[in-house]
Structure formats: C-alpha cells, structure tokens
Copies of this chain bind each other. A is one copy, B any other.
C-alpha cells in the first residue's frame, strides 16, 4: 500500500451559514484531507499539532478512518487552533470572526520515521515554513508533492511561501488566490505565471464553478456537481485536495491523464462535504455513495460528438 503523508491543521471550527450555526466542532485542513483519503486504498498519516483540550474521540475518529495519528503532537497544557467564520448569503464569501493560533504558533512538525519515505506528500494549508520543514525531513524523494495554501500566507509570509512553492509538483489554490499570487486576472495567464514559480501542475479551485487543472498548454476542467443546496462550504477545498492526492497515491500514476481522474474524484468528494455542517457528511459517507456520484459526474460531462476530418 502506498504511503500518503498529510500535513495541515487539526482544529476547532465554529461556523455560521445562512442555514444555522455550530459550536466548536472538529475542523482543520488535515482532518478533512484525512477523511477524504479514507476512500482510497492508501496508508495515510497526519502530521499536525493539537492542545490538551482536543477530545480523544476526535483522534479516535481519525484512527477509525485508518489514518495514522502518530505524527499529531499533543501539547501539554496547550490549546488547540481555533477558527470561527461566518458565510455570506451566497456562500461564496465569508468573514473570519476569530483566529486563535494557540499551539500552532510554535509548531515544529515531526514526521514519523515510518512516513519519511512516503510516496506522495500533501502539504495542506499551514505556515509555509512548516510545509518546508516537513519536506526537509523526507529521506527519499516523494513521487509527487502537492501544496495547498491560501491568501493569508501571501499577505504575511510571501517569501517563505514562494520558497516552498518552488519545491512542489502540484499547487492547488482558489481563483482569487491565483489572481493575487500571479497579478493576472485571466486564470490561463495566472496558471502560466504560477507554473514559472515551480509547480509543473497548477490546480485552480473555483468553488461551485468547478476546478481547472493546467500543465503547460494543456488544461482539464472538473465541474462541481450542481446541488439543490450547499449547506456549509467549510473544508470543501481540503476535501478536494485530499481526494486528488488520495486517488493519485492509490493509483501510483502521476500522468496528466490520471490527474484528470484525480480532480474528478476530488470534486466528487467535495460535493458531499458541503451537504452538511463541518465534517459530519464525510464521517458517515459510504464508498457506494461515492461510486454512484461518479456515475453522475460522467453523465454531467461526457458527450459523443464525431469529429469531422
């Protein structure tokens, strides 16, 4: 079984959407990525940090989903990273209400010995120095390194972010962030500039409008599944990245053709994530539901036109 190393936050979220609000619930990029990786035949492990206040049941949940949690440090007397946000009515934008870094402020990631030779590494959203720190610990060169990030790090740690971007094969980023990072409005031009920063593959996430995969002049598009209702977008981007990396890890194939399948899987899993608050839908999702939705994605996108010569 191929190894997938996941780095990212394991956290508390408090979420408000037009449909309701939650107290502190389980959240964090690595949590969503780990839950997504469970749908693939992979040996996944999370590197992260939590405080002593983090419930044992949340860690058990991840273990029950076959995610190795050896690399999740528990800081004695520490408090877990907490994020609170409120979504606007269209669910496409949100305001951050609270960000308490807590134990994340001084996090020094330690990669478990058994995962220093992981096949695939997914650097989930975190300080770029932490992302780099994980790469420094790898004893063999991973077959593929995927990086997810956000505008926050462009604003406050751009040089460090550019350093780690240089070292990765794939970057996943949303449309507004791609524009900010590249200074280009056109996503085609933005992808070209981001290619030039290092990554061979650029994935631009457009939320309800799907995702684009670029490699040089080649481009592939995975739509989001049109849903009756999006309940809570939190974690959708991380779930997308987790589905992408999980599929690649399982299939051992890093060709552009196979990456097309991987972003379809990412889009598939993300379409479930948004159906309930927080991680609830992903915790209870069954493999047969994912397969059924894959049929929907085929019906949604595949067509038969004979090409004229």
Contact = CB atoms under 8 A, between A and B. Distances in A.
Contact of A300 (B220, B227, B308): B220
Given A218-B299, A300-B221, A188 B261 contact: no
B226 A221 contact: yes
B221 A301 contact: yes
B223 A264 contact: no
Contact of A261 (B228, B229, B299, B303): B303
A24 B160 CA distance: 52
A257 interface: yes
Interface stretch (A4-12, A114-122, A206-214): A206-214
A271 to B, nearest CB: 12
A212 B208 CA distance: 13
Given A218-B299, A291-B307, A303-B264, A187 B226 contact: yes
B220 A188 contact: no
Interface string A282-301: 00000000010011001111
A135 B303 CA distance: 32
A301 B264 CA distance: 10
A152 interface: no
Interface string A188-200: 1100000000000
Contact of A212 (B187, B226, B291): B226
B261 A186 contact: no
B301 A294 contact: no
A185 interface: yes
B189 A228 contact: yes
A106 interface: no
Contacts of A220: 299-301, 303
A89 B187 CA distance: 15
A162 interface: no
Contacts of A185: 89-90
Contacts of A261: 303-305
Nearest to A291: B308
A39 to B, nearest CB: 11
B228 A186 contact: yes
Interface of A: 89-90, 185-189, 206, 209-210, 212, 218-221, 223, 226-230, 257, 260-261, 264-265, 291, 294-295, 298-305, 307-308
Query: What are the 3 closest A-B residue pairs judged by CB atoms, nearest first?
Result: A209-B209, A260-B303, A221-B223
30 contacts: A89-B185, A90-B185, A186-B230, A188-B226, A188-B227, A188-B228, A189-B229, A206-B209, A210-B210, A210-B223, A218-B299, A219-B299, A219-B300, A220-B299, A220-B301, A220-B303, A260-B303, A261-B303, A261-B304, A264-B303, A264-B305, A265-B305, A291-B307, A294-B305, A295-B307, A298-B305, A301-B302, A301-B303, A302-B302, A302-B303
